[in-house]
Chains A and B, each alone.
Chain A
């Protein structure tokens, strides 16, 4: 073990933290929007719409994320009409390709988590809201969604942790985030063990923070479960 090398590699490796956080933050935010839309579509009661949303979830949950990243980055770029389209300035950049792949992937998983949570809201609560004179939309906004979001948090925490780790796959399409920098440094020093341990430790810390944040959110959203002071 070369402790000195591990210590010296830290500043350079942490230099990739910004990009890693951008990838995670960007794809989680966009993924949440996708997930919300898809979950609603799957519960819309319209058969064709439900089927299309279901097919999206099936495809993006059923194929490896690495394959999705390669398809979006190397695959789409092969087509002339994609390169000529207005989307090319976006798809040209590895950063946006990575965010797109991560977004579509997490969107599929999260939509299922959210759908399950919405379905788990007790029918009695919805009926009570309706009996108070709330419209369906108002009842959904005030009663169903807050309860569902609270219910989905533990499962969603899992998804956040998975995304922190999944961001490392962006290194396969030339992005120099933490794993990319680690691989680059290994190419120069051949110290596989030391440098991947440093990279692994950084992910561990990121996930520690992420799981704490989720825990805090759970605590904040369940005041009624806490003992009265």
Chain B
């Protein structure tokens, strides 16, 4: 019996070293912002928590590596990856063409639309509600009237967004005439919406909803769910271009986690709904 266990263990060990290739991955350091709930957040003791931390730990188990989560401010998260401060980014980062120029991405593990939130008492709560539930930017002909209506409603207003996000890209490309303020953290944009310094905020649906829920009755989510185009193809693990082997490990692990329902289970637990990419 003992020899069987030992042989199995040895076999497993060989299998791991076999697949790891040139550089052996034993520990993978994963960076997360810790201020983007429910994707990632920081608990009162300073520990990183959230959907991506739970998913990351699950993925690492599948890849048979030790995971180490590192907190990193959003606006330096890609440069620090390139400098080798950590090996991967799991921080609600959408896969976009611009980012693909500098880093690599795993297959997506989640996706969600972008939405606006405004003060409940603001006239925008009505005027931004343009009677469209979903607007796909890839379908330009259908998206154009929606964007025109948004631009009309937001004329002379200010919109808060987080720096270095797809939402800035969206504002610059589609609503360039609307004044925009960029914040280092989405939480801070929410604070300024609550105090009336900005008229609206734009962000990922779950994050905007979390901000709205934090102060009940004061703010509302409004307008269409915006997808496609600059809003991108879902969230993936950000990786250095040189680490093709690590990308392969993550791709396989995410594929498995999507297939056996782990992503769906964690997503229901953290978001209350399913964010798995289709």
What residues make up the interface of A, taking CB atoms closer than 8 Å to B?
A: 74, 77-78, 83, 92, 94, 172, 174, 183-184, 186-188, 190, 192
CB distance from B225 to the nearest CB of A (A): 25
Answer whether residue B248 sits at the interface, using C-beta atoms and an 8 A cutoff.
no
- Residues from chain B with a CB closer than 8 A to the CB of A188 are 98, 164
Ranked nearest first, the 4 interchain pairs of A and B with the lowest CB-CB distance are: A187-B164, A77-B195, A192-B79, A174-B181
Partner pick for B197 among A92, A172, A183, A186, CB 8 A cutoff: A92
Q: How far is the CA of A183 from the CA of B102 in the complex (A)?
A: 17
- Residues from chain B with a CB closer than 8 A to the CB of A92 are 195-197
Q: Return the CB mask of B195-237 against A: 1 if under 8 Å, else 0.
A: 1110000000000000000000000000000000000000000
Given contacts A77-B197, A183-B163, contact A190 B191 (CB under 8 A): no
Answer whether residue B192 sits at the interface, using C-beta atoms and an 8 A cutoff.
yes
13 A-B contacts (beta carbon < 8 Å): A77-B192, A83-B195, A83-B196, A92-B195, A92-B197, A172-B184, A174-B182, A183-B163, A187-B168, A188-B98, A188-B164, A190-B79, A190-B102
Q: Return the CB mask of B160-196 against A: 1 if under 8 Å, else 0.
A: 1001100010000000000001111000100110111
- If over half of A's interface residues share one DSSP class (helix, strand or loop), that class is named, otherwise mixed; here it is helix
- Residues from chain B with a CB closer than 8 A to the CB of A186 are 75-76, 79
CB distance from B35 to the nearest CB of A (A): 14
Interface residues of B in 50-104 (CB under 8 A from A): 75-76, 78-79, 82, 98, 102
Given contacts A77-B195, A78-B191, A172-B184, contact A190 B75 (CB under 8 A): no
CB distance from B149 to the nearest CB of A (A): 27
